[in-house]
Structure 1
């Protein structure tokens, strides 16, 4: 692993993933339902007299938006662009590039990190090489990689098209180390690709899972095919032709003065940082709103600006499509584009790309048929996703109002006709996120971390909830139901296999469903295959061994630090937890892996994992009774308030909970805790 070479602490998930998977606040990919945001299925909208046109009116609209109290309260600084029909109608800064010094935002020179918007540029570079006949989008990428080979267990080739649409089939798509000390050693792209090389375990092109590593691999592909460094290629073939004079992929000390100061969610400034690899094709872009205005104008003009073409019109149009969708009625992903807030599209065809890194968030939206674009860059994480969401919704409602449509027509389907969809579906990117699907007459009941949702059937494999959010299923190439998509838009969920319960777990046990879930997730493969021993205590090693894989990250390959875990079957999981700050050990380099874990220890570990891995902080306090050690009190409060426990914990008449913190955690209780989060 490279975190030791880079001399930065390993984190369980990249900063971008933390921002995109914050599950209990509205963030980038996990979108909490919004009754006012439903998009009608099959709605068609007249394009007459729609869209922004008058610069003064556009400025008044945007000024009004940034004057809203909830926006002002969250704002550090923002740079915003609106383009339409080949013209820049607005390019304006709000707030400050540095709050402490009140440094204003210069639209031409203030740089923002745009994080994953980088992927659109990387995809454009790939499409340029395909236009020139130097790269075939449908050939095995191993034929282009110099001195490297991606392991593939499927028998189906991995192509550049698969990588651009996040359908690589990789076992791991996120790298823990993506940001670090700018004064540290340079982490080369080829080294990064080799260090973190995943394996293709799912047929490429079959299922969507947001893929940061895949876009770094695409950047390396650009280097191999073009013979140029990735950043040099982008400079020569995109930045320079489009006049994007202030855009860069590589951080240097000279850029520090031009970069807006980033702020965390609490408003504290963050030191400037570099990205790993140093030129990050998946997230290294730094740019200004002025440069992004020029980029959007080219995107909306068939790849051309000021008589300089970066793509042929047909190629640009191919990028601006949903190349992969779970159902034709649900927006999906394209080459370097996605659909983050489809419920706000108001019947229009919209593609977008967002970016999130430490202290920076950004997003561009394009309406190609309307030749309209919207862009925002923010230098604070505070309510940033909410601000981007609110901006897009306000923009669409103002300039492209929701059409008047008739109520949807539901299918009158019998429960027995829908039972083939029942089961547990686990998210491909974050396995802990899962859905329980149960058939009813006319629809489905879907249970997730938000609660229970009633879905009604619209079409074959297509459903809608009472807020207007769509859900759909997909069959595999053998005609079996394999995937589900609903309210977490950064990946699909796969159907988990049916499994038998253990001989010592009765079907009517209140923990039977929890234990079955662990077995479905494959978390018990190193355990006794016949008996679960539900009322035995669980060891510290076993608890970590069950918990860490639910995050969907590659386990550490570093030397084992706890000397007493060397022979543990869960040594890699414990080492991964240590590197992520989830566990700290006992004393003198030991972990005591075979000791029973106490309930308060388990609560603290899960609380740390939620905070460090997903950015989910304690949001409420509950009344506790019984004895809990002071060092564990916050963790126990976090877990009890979140409901991550089984039937062994109930409130008394006064609403107080006895978590039995000092007692050993039983195996069935650990199963309940893991099943119920996040």
Structure 2
């Protein structure tokens, strides 16, 4: 659900927000008509070869893969173990995986069923489908179901702090969850793409409200049962739990079993098997039917699989529920896809509608093999297609390139910063993935040296407003205005770059003194650091009753509560948090490390430390030390060791350096 996955000069060039009437892109492989996998034996040989690679086999806990073509399941096979300790092999028929955000295409299918029946108007205001639950809208433009389906809601946030619980008896209704976390619409709906977990969960509630039945019950009766998806659910029932693959961390440690929050989570709570997902893929590839069962009309499925949101006509972002990602590995074929990430579970589904071929894979360990697997699949069965990293014949002038230069803040993760500059007639992009050269293809479309496409969006005044690269496919990045300087932080201040960077990203909440003073040498409090950290991550604040007894009156109580729910802070009911006390450098390091581990699936780092650090903080301090997340206040010794000065209070300028440097060293 919390993936970090790793845009639109003139009216003629503009890639409109909605491309609903566009035909599927006709790009084809340069090698001519592609046959794809021709037999079950051929598909199995491919999978055996891939999962037999030493670098895959050594890291794997368990995996399942299914391949379908036309109305036939060519492959459904398990590799490795559902339970490593018990040596229980993965069974494609019986072993259940959390498919995480692949749940969204199930939810979108349910929405489209109700749209077919005339009960939901995709282009109308969504409010009537939510009953008495209200979503504040600051834009004057109605929020529609189409906006929800295409991740273009304009919500102030799309991720919430609480998405799972180890209390398997806890029942959290979908309605209550939406009420607790309903966001405000702060950008024009339909205008910008930003991955939105909460938007799909709100869709699920709309299904529940409009149908008059619990979401999980509706999906079970209208999708799972007709398609024979006998081991698929949106809640962790005892029967499902018996079949659930054990989740493992990247280090191979078993993860404590957990349930989702809410209990039935439309945006990411589905549990399923490889065999069941084969049925779902065949239904969509078959025009909405499987055997004698029909879940959607053929024209509805066709609409679901078309590009609906794109930063450029040749670089689509969203269909209805389905996405487009890493398009450089499609080899000229038309592919829609959806991936899912949850702690200990990672999955992906790819459909080639023109070829009537689908692939699904899931693993039960924090590891990444999906892009490599699909790239290998496409190179094996659909070779050829676009491969040259060079641009087209279009050659922009230097002044036209300069309009793209600037800093761009990711609309989903403020921590992800993209800096673009011009250099000798070229566009140079610097982001957490490194530096890339952009080669022009068309006025707003580019391609880097690896063949990854990127594009820009412009408004009606000819101003560049957004940037997107297929290397980070979950959001556009908004071009940011130059930050206003603080009067007490001069341009030559050693921390000026860090402070200006975070101010540009809008990290500092409720600036005092009219926004003119930063007080760089003042210690930052525990409450304020929690607010910076949560705002920097882009995760919603929490309106729940504070778990800490002394935070109710704090200006940062909602961010502190969100940090607690997200696992960045420990505590118990009524415990004290001391929000006004200065935070120590080791405390700040631990909170940052926990965010990296929880949100980015980071693994522990080794670093040579000198000075004193408490045992409970060592992992966090080693992480920030290894990644160099500090300013000039900390200087490594000649032998490479670092005194992080763990126990002294962190100053505001030092906190800015920590987060700013982290934004440039995420990966």
The TM-score normalised by the length of structure 1 is: 0.87
For the pair 1:482 / 2:452, whether they are aligned, the reply is no
Contact 2:34 2:381 in 1 (8 A): no
CA distance in 2: counterparts of 1:126 and 1:352, whole angstroms: 18
Moved more, 81-90 or 646-655: 646-655
Contact 2:100 2:346 in 1 (8 A): yes
Q: Residues 441 and 410 from structure 1, CA distance in 2 versus in 1: closer, same or farther, beyond 3 angstroms?
A: farther
Displacement of 1:304 in angstroms is 1.8
For the pair 1:552 / 2:538, whether they are aligned, the reply is yes
Q: Residues 156 and 264 from structure 1, CA distance in 2 versus in 1: closer, same or farther, beyond 3 angstroms?
A: same
Contact 2:499 2:656 in 1 (8 A): yes
Aligned to 2:254: 269
Aligned to 2:80: 95
Contact 1:78 1:96 in 2 (8 A): yes
Displacement of 1:123 in angstroms is 0.9
CA distance in 2: counterparts of 1:238 and 1:84, whole angstroms: 20
Contact 1:475 1:483 in 2 (8 A): yes
Contact 1:82 1:88 in 2 (8 A): yes
Q: Residues 659 and 181 from structure 1, CA distance in 2 versus in 1: closer, same or farther, beyond 3 angstroms?
A: closer
For the pair 1:423 / 2:406, whether they are aligned, the reply is yes
The one of 44, 51, 54 equivalent to 1:69 is 54
DSSP-derived class of the 2:592 partner:
helix
CA distance in 2: counterparts of 1:164 and 1:521, whole angstroms: 27
CA distance in 2: counterparts of 1:359 and 1:584, whole angstroms: 22
Q: Residue by residue, what CA displacement relative to the aligned partner does 1:388-434 show, whole Å, maximum 9, x if unpaired?
A: 22211111111011337664336543443322222221122221111
Aligned to 1:513: 497
Contact 1:415 1:440 in 2 (8 A): no
Displacement of 1:86 in angstroms is 2.4
Contact 1:409 1:458 in 2 (8 A): yes
For the pair 1:400 / 2:382, whether they are aligned, the reply is yes
Contact 2:143 2:153 in 1 (8 A): yes
CA distance in 1: counterparts of 2:271 and 2:548, whole angstroms: 40
Aligned to 2:14: none
The one of 273, 293, 297 equivalent to 1:308 is 293
CA distance in 1: counterparts of 2:293 and 2:449, whole angstroms: 48
Aligned to 1:235: 220
The one of 516, 522, 527 equivalent to 1:530 is 516
DSSP-derived class of the 1:370 partner:
coil
The one of 437, 454, 471 equivalent to 1:471 is 454
Contact 1:188 1:278 in 2 (8 A): yes
Q: Residues 485 and 279 from structure 1, CA distance in 2 versus in 1: closer, same or farther, beyond 3 angstroms?
A: same
Aligned to 1:445: 428
The one of 76, 81, 84 equivalent to 2:66 is 81
Aligned to 2:597: 611
Contact 1:526 1:569 in 2 (8 A): no
Displacement of 1:642 in angstroms is 0.8
Contact 2:160 2:181 in 1 (8 A): yes
Aligned to 1:435: 418
Q: Residues 556 and 348 from structure 1, CA distance in 2 versus in 1: closer, same or farther, beyond 3 angstroms?
A: same
CA distance in 2: counterparts of 1:266 and 1:101, whole angstroms: 18
DSSP-derived class of the 2:630 partner:
coil
Contact 2:446 2:453 in 1 (8 A): yes
In the TM superposition, 1:233-382 aligns within 5 A as 233-378=218-363, 380-382=364-366
The one of 637, 654, 658 equivalent to 1:669 is 654
Aligned to 2:620: 635
Contact 1:443 1:463 in 2 (8 A): no
The total of aligned residue pairs comes to 639
CA distance in 2: counterparts of 1:264 and 1:398, whole angstroms: 31
Q: Residue by residue, what CA displacement relative to the aligned partner does 1:558-607 show, whole Å, maximum 9, x if unpaired?
A: 44555665554334333433444434589x95555455444444333323
Aligned to 1:388: 370
Contact 1:644 1:672 in 2 (8 A): yes
Q: Residue by residue, what CA displacement relative to the aligned partner does 1:461-502 show, whole Å, maximum 9, x if unpaired?
A: 222222222222212455432222123211122222323212
Q: Residues 563 and 415 from structure 1, CA distance in 2 versus in 1: closer, same or farther, beyond 3 angstroms?
A: farther
Aligned to 1:149: 134
For the pair 1:188 / 2:170, whether they are aligned, the reply is no
CA distance in 2: counterparts of 1:227 and 1:565, whole angstroms: 39
The TM-score normalised by the length of structure 2 is: 0.89
Displacement of 1:47 in angstroms is 5.0
Displacement of 1:550 in angstroms is 0.6
Displacement of 1:138 in angstroms is 0.3
Q: Residues 382 and 142 from structure 1, CA distance in 2 versus in 1: closer, same or farther, beyond 3 angstroms?
A: closer
CA distance in 2: counterparts of 1:563 and 1:113, whole angstroms: 36
CA distance in 1: counterparts of 2:660 and 2:326, whole angstroms: 28
CA distance in 1: counterparts of 2:253 and 2:614, whole angstroms: 31
CA distance in 1: counterparts of 2:552 and 2:74, whole angstroms: 63
DSSP-derived class of the 1:198 partner:
coil
CA distance in 1: counterparts of 2:564 and 2:280, whole angstroms: 43
Displacement of 1:178 in angstroms is 2.1
Q: Residue by residue, what CA displacement relative to the aligned partner does 1:246-286 show, whole Å, maximum 9, x if unpaired?
A: 32223211322233333333323345433222222222322
Kindly report the root-mean-square deviation, in angstroms, between the aligned alpha carbons of the 2 structures.
2.7
Contact 2:343 2:366 in 1 (8 A): no
DSSP-derived class of the 1:241 partner:
coil
Contact 2:499 2:657 in 1 (8 A): yes
The one of 590, 602, 611 equivalent to 2:588 is 602
Displacement of 1:211 in angstroms is 1.4
Q: Residues 659 and 242 from structure 1, CA distance in 2 versus in 1: closer, same or farther, beyond 3 angstroms?
A: closer
| Ranges in structure 1 where 5+ consecutive residues have no aligned partner | 1-15, 22-28, 31-40
CA distance in 2: counterparts of 1:652 and 1:205, whole angstroms: 52
Aligned to 2:103: 118
CA distance in 2: counterparts of 1:295 and 1:65, whole angstroms: 24
The one of 109, 114, 119 equivalent to 2:94 is 109
Displacement of 1:367 in angstroms is 0.6
CA distance in 1: counterparts of 2:46 and 2:310, whole angstroms: 33
Q: Residues 631 and 252 from structure 1, CA distance in 2 versus in 1: closer, same or farther, beyond 3 angstroms?
A: closer
| Ranges in structure 2 where 5+ consecutive residues have no aligned partner | 7-25
In the TM superposition, 1:154-233 aligns within 5 A as 154-181=139-166, 183-233=168-218
Contact 2:495 2:653 in 1 (8 A): yes
Q: Residues 645 and 312 from structure 1, CA distance in 2 versus in 1: closer, same or farther, beyond 3 angstroms?
A: same
Aligned to 1:4: none
DSSP-derived class of the 1:167 partner:
coil
Displacement of 1:340 in angstroms is 3.3
Contact 1:442 1:456 in 2 (8 A): no
In the TM superposition, 1:456-467 aligns within 5 A as 456-467=439-450
